[in-house]
Each structure stands twice: as structure tokens, then as C-alpha cells.
Amino acid sequence: MCGIAGILRWGGPPPERSEITAMTEALAHRGPDDQGVFQRGPVALGHRRLSIIDLTGGKQPMEEGQVCLTYNGEIYNYRHLRRQLEERGHRFHTQSDTEVLLRAYQEWDLEFVHHLRGMFAFGLADFRRQRLLLGRDHFGIKPLYYRLEPGYLAFASELTSLLQVQDASPRGNLTAVEMYLRFFYIPAPATIYHRVFKLPPASLRVFGFDGSQTPPRQYWSLHFQPDPALEGTAAQEQVEATVQAAVEAHLVADVPFGVFLSGGIDSTLVALCMSRALNRPVPAFSIGFGEQGYSELAYAQQAARTLGLELHQQILQPESLKILPDLVSHYGEPFGDSSCIPTWYVSQLARTQVPMVLSGDGGDEAFGGYYSYLHWLQRPKHLSTYLGQCLRTPGRTYGRQLLAYLGYLTSPHPYHLEEWQGWIPATSRQLRRRLWRPEYRYLLEAPCPTFTQASRAAQGFDRLGYAQYLDYQTYLPGDILPKVDIASMYHGLEVRTPLVDVQVVELAARLPARQRIHTGVSKRILKEILGQYFPREFVHRPKQGFSLPVNHWFRPGGQGRQQLTALLAQPPRHLTTWLNPSQIGQLVAENDQGTDRGSGLWLVLVLGLWLDQHPGVDFS
């Protein structure tokens, strides 16, 4: 697990060593064990290393013949690929998966990504073909940002690294601010900056040394095609065996490791599989809250006792928000998922014991765990029901919702994107309309191409598969995975996600919908598996999630309230130009009265902190 960076310049002088060095040093927290820089002609590559496999070998950037690679991630089937490549005549000098990836490219050219099982982001310079290749794993577990300007391309694992390039700062992207307020994150390929992009998951992009380029090429996509044979005990056994195999594949490491244990279904299942694969107690790490209704720590303790785990735990208090400004800086752009705070602390806790952990992230997307899926499946069946909802929504939104529903009824497609977006956990259009000043409300009409494209691609799936596919294209790579990556790599901790494994996900997509959700029971098949080891009250309790009690912490005297008050006393440039201060005050008053407005206030606080840290960004 590492941090990578690179520059390609054309039509001018080559990259300066000071540029790539500064970009690489900005990623030092991602790779505290080693660093390296490569320069040749128009290309400069940088690398920071967190050593997990082949501690003494595998130094990067790695050069072999006319190819040089800087790579972040883990290839879980690298030993199998190595044997294949050796049979084809390749000879290896290290035990690292980095060399396997490099030689796989030499053997199979651009098709080499089809052989990879893992999490990865890379920049690969091919001097024979005079091109630079950027690539990202199937689900976007590992981040990759790039900046494309006249005369050069720069790429990196984090946005802050891209700002080290010796050039004018990129302009701000105001539409991205609306997307942030709409979804809590900015969906790929957009970022908070113009001309700076996220490479979408399962994508390659090729840039010629002469400045020529091709659009991102998608090399893999997920298809929900239920297999009627996957029923009953046979389906349960196959899922359990596949998850077990994925966990064991993710345990390949030359360093100690542990597990994030929330006490929920997914992390408990991963911990169970780890316990079965190992002959020693597994270190487990859990975070709880003092506020009733937010902490699952008692369930994590129960899971640890049952599985014989070595549990390390911590209770978060409102004072935990003191790290928020620093964390906002590390995310590089506004990021509104408040669970990044407990993720930061559980990563800090884990790093005191181990450099690598497994987590249960991705189980909700694969096996139908979100409440939004239940709501989506229980859609309004009668026009009168929907009209009643519309009448309770004042203003132009009423007409818009009614037209959307009528369009849904007459649409040739079975699923309507606006209907789905009504169920996902985003801020309402009504709330955003209140926040934006009138001259900026045109942004409410801005479409999100990522959602639109995903909706078109998923029209042939069953209703549950449609919703899950959209989350795989948007929420998982835009929110869940970057939240964990940034918060964990802040501490130099590698987090592996066996439930976001291509073999697990492809099997889950073949399950009939009733194996994922049935009669209101989400993640049915996982609960049946776990029910063999845990009592019913553990397995079938309501889903809780990993959310921060922000509505409590924004009450008078709370740490969130103090930070927001301080921010609004001298608001940063742009914040009150775009947003209406009186409406922010109204949100505070509503939160004090017991109406949960914590999410909206959290979004304002994070946006304000980011703007305060980037006063020179031009959004005109």
C-alpha cells in the first residue's frame, strides 16, 4: 500500500525533479517505509511505500527494460500469475506483486488488467510505445486523480499531491459544490477543481508522450443476472466458501494484521473467516459512542468473545471532532460523510498494533444491506400515495415530483433515476434550495452524468440489481471506499476489503433477489450463514451503521456547534456568497428544537473548513 505520483510533459522542457519530489513528499503519510523517484525524458514518476509484501524487495518506481511502473495496492492472485508468467519465460528478481504486474503488462499489453484480482492504481510509462498508462481496480478501492492541462498531465493518489505541480492553481468547480451538497461527495470523474479528474473504477486511460490521448476505457462491468440454481443450502454453501476464499486471499502479507470489527453482519463475517483460517487470536479494533442508539460496541464485544478475538476498543466523545480540520485537508476536496471521523480513530487505534487490517466494507452493496434498497423495493404503488407525498412538499418541487412520477408511469424503461434518488441518503432538493442564494439556484438543475450513465446501463437488471448497480458506480467508489482509504492511509494503515472482491461480487450478482432481500430481511443469505454461529438477536437486529451523532454534537455547547460558530464568525471567501447565512441559522435553530438537521450543518461546516484552507481557489 503506497502513494504514487507522476508527470508527463510534452512540447516543452521535461518535468523538474523538484516537482516530482514535492508531489511524492506530499504523500509521505501513505508510505512511511521508503520512497523513490524516476526520471527519463518527458516522464517523472514518484512513489512512497508502505511495505506489506516482500519487505526488502519491490522498491518503486520499478524499471524493467523499456517500462517503468509506480503502483499502489495489492494483487491477491500474484503468485498464480507469477507461475503463469514463468511458464511463458519470464524471470523474476523479487518476490513482490509489483514485478508481477509489470511483467504481466509486458506479456499481455493492455489486456493484462483482465488477469488481475486485487485493489490497485498505477501509472506505467512505456518508452518503446511512447505512452503513459493510468489504471484503476474494478471497484475503485484505490484512488487515482489526474490533472490535464495544456502541455502536461499529472497524476497522484491524493488531490493535495497534484497541487504541488509548478503551475497556477486549478480553478474551482462550482457544479461540484452542488454535487457535494446533493450526495455528500463529488461523484467521479469530477472533482472540486476544473481540469482535475478521478479516473473511474475499472478504467484505463492512455496518454501519448506527444500529448495525444484516449477517453477512459472501461475494461470490466458488473452484470446482475440471477441464476435460479443458486437457492437453498447450495447457495449458502457457495457464498460462504467464496467469502472464506476471498478472506484467505486477502491475508497474504509479510506483516502482522487484524480486523475492523463494528459488530455488524459484514465485519463479523470477515472476522469469522479470519478466525477459521488462522491458528491464533486475531487483533480486532472497534469504536463506540457515548450517545445511546449510535454505538454497536456491545455487539462487537459479543462477536469478539464468540470468535476468540483480541479486542481493542475506544469510546469517542464530542471532543473527537478536534481532528476535523486536519482530516478535511487530507481529503483534498469537500467530503461530507461524517463517519470519516470514527474511521480515522479506529485506523489510529489499529496502527498502534498492526500495519494492515481487513474490513467488512462492501457487504451492503453486494448482498442488499441498505435501508434504501428496502424503500426502493416498497415503492408507492398508487398515484394517490405519491400525490399525497407531493402535496406535503411546497414550491416548485411539487410539480417536479409529479411530472417525474408521471414520466415514470409512461417511461419505456422500468426504472426511473429520479425515483431512486428519492431514496438514497442525500440532502433533499428543498433543503439545498433553502441554502443556495437565489442567483445560484440554477445549480439545482445540474445533472450528474455518472448517475445518468449508470441508470441507463442498469435498465435490464431486476429492481434490486438496478439499485445495487447504481451504488457500485456511485456511492461505493465515491463515498465508502475513499472515506476508508484517506482516513486509514493518514496513519499509514492498509485496509483490505474482501467483500469488495471481484469473485465475491460476481457471485452475489448471480443470486436471485430473494437471496439478498426477502420479506423485509436484508442480506438474507449472509444472515443465514452467520446464524449458524450467533444467536438470532445478534443476527437479526436492526441495521445501525457507523454514523456520527452529529445532531447531538451540534446542540448548544457541542464541539460541532463551537466549530460552526467560529467558522461563521468570520466566514471564508465564497461560503456566504453562495449560501444564505439566515438559512444556516435556521438549520441550527431547527436542530436545537430536536429536528435532526445535523447532516446539513455538517455539510456546511466541512465546506466552510475546506474553503478556509483554500482561500486562493477561483470559482468564477
pLDDT digits (tens, 9 = 90+) for 266-307: 999 999 999 999 988 999 999 998 776 667 899 999 999 999
pLDDT digits (tens, 9 = 90+) for 430-481: 999 999 999 999 999 999 999 999 999 999 999 999 999 999 999 999 999 9
Q: Could you tell me where the beta strands, DSSP code E, fall in 276-405?
A: 283-289, 310-316, 356-358
> Are the CB atoms for 517 and 464 separated by under 8 Å?
yes
pLDDT digits (tens, 9 = 90+) for 137-179: 999 999 999 999 999 999 999 999 999 998 878 999 999 999 9
CA atoms within 13 A on the CB side of 254: 14
Q: Which amino acid is at 430?
A: Q
CA atoms within 13 A on the CB side of 95: 10
Task: Map out the domains of the chain as residue ranges.
Answer: 2-218, 222-543, 550-613
| Residue from 169, 143, 161, 165 nearest 153 by CA | 165
* Position 101 confidence tier, pLDDT thresholds 50, 70, 90: very high
Average pLDDT over residues 20-43: 91
Phi and psi angles of residue 42, each rounded to the nearest 5 degrees, phi first: -85, 5
| pLDDT confidence of residue 59 | 85
Name the class of domain 2-218.
Answer: alpha beta
> Are the CB atoms for 364 and 305 separated by under 8 Å?
no
| pLDDT confidence of residue 406 | 52
Beta bridge partners of 316: 289
Q: Which amino acid is at 351?
A: R
Selected residue with higher pLDDT from 138 and 422 = 138
pLDDT digits (tens, 9 = 90+) for 225-281: 999 999 999 999 999 999 999 999 999 887 889 999 999 999 999 999 999 999 889
pLDDT digits (tens, 9 = 90+) for 195-212: 999 999 999 999 999 999
Instruction: Round to whole Å and give the CA distance between 257 and 352.
Output: 11
The helix, strand and coil proportions of the chain, stated in percent and rounded to the nearest 5, come to 45, 15, 35
| Residue from 506, 484, 140, 150 nearest 335 by CA | 484
Q: Could you tell me where the beta strands, DSSP code E, fall in 41-98?
A: 43-49, 62-64, 67-75
> Are the CB atoms for 13 and 24 separated by under 8 Å?
no
| pLDDT confidence of residue 425 | 67
Residue 421 has pLDDT above 70, yes or no: yes
| Angle in degrees, CA 69, 351, 305, rounded to 5 | 125
pLDDT digits (tens, 9 = 90+) for 351-381: 999 999 999 999 999 999 999 999 898 875 4
> Are the CB atoms for 378 and 464 separated by under 8 Å?
no
> Are the CB atoms for 249 and 497 separated by under 8 Å?
no
CA atoms within 13 A on the CB side of 279: 0
Q: Can you count the helices (H) and strands (E) in the chain?
A: 29, 17
| pLDDT confidence of residue 384 | 46
Residue identified by cell 400525490 is 387
* Position 410 confidence tier, pLDDT thresholds 50, 70, 90: very low
The mean pLDDT of the chain is 90
Selected residue with higher pLDDT from 390 and 572 = 572
| pLDDT confidence of residue 547 | 67
Instruction: Round to whole Å and give the CA distance between 486 and 492.
Output: 10
Q: Would you please indicate which residues are annotated as catalytic (active-site) residues?
A: 2
pLDDT digits (tens, 9 = 90+) for 492-529: 999 999 999 999 999 999 999 999 998 888 999 999 99
Beta bridge partners of 4: 47
pLDDT digits (tens, 9 = 90+) for 552-585: 788 888 888 899 889 988 999 899 999 999 999 9
Q: pTM for this one?
A: 0.92
Burial class for 234, CB neighbours closer than 10 Å (0-12, 13-18, 19+): exposed
C-alpha cell belonging to residue 517:
432481500
| pLDDT confidence of residue 413 | 53
* Position 400 confidence tier, pLDDT thresholds 50, 70, 90: low
**Which positions ≥6 away from 86 have C-beta within 8 Å?**
92
| pLDDT confidence of residue 347 | 97
> Are the CB atoms for 77 and 53 separated by under 8 Å?
no
**Which positions ≥6 away from 307 have C-beta within 8 Å?**
268, 271, 272, 275, 282
> Are the CB atoms for 341 and 315 separated by under 8 Å?
no
Instruction: Round to whole Å and give the CA distance between 139 and 210.
Output: 30
| pLDDT confidence of residue 409 | 46
Instruction: Round to whole Å and give the CA distance between 311 and 177.
Output: 40
> Are the CB atoms for 431 and 599 separated by under 8 Å?
no
| pLDDT confidence of residue 396 | 47
* Position 592 confidence tier, pLDDT thresholds 50, 70, 90: confident
When the candidates are 1.10.10.10, 3.40.50.620, 1.10.287.3240, 3.40.50.1820, the CATH number that belongs to 222-543 is: 3.40.50.620
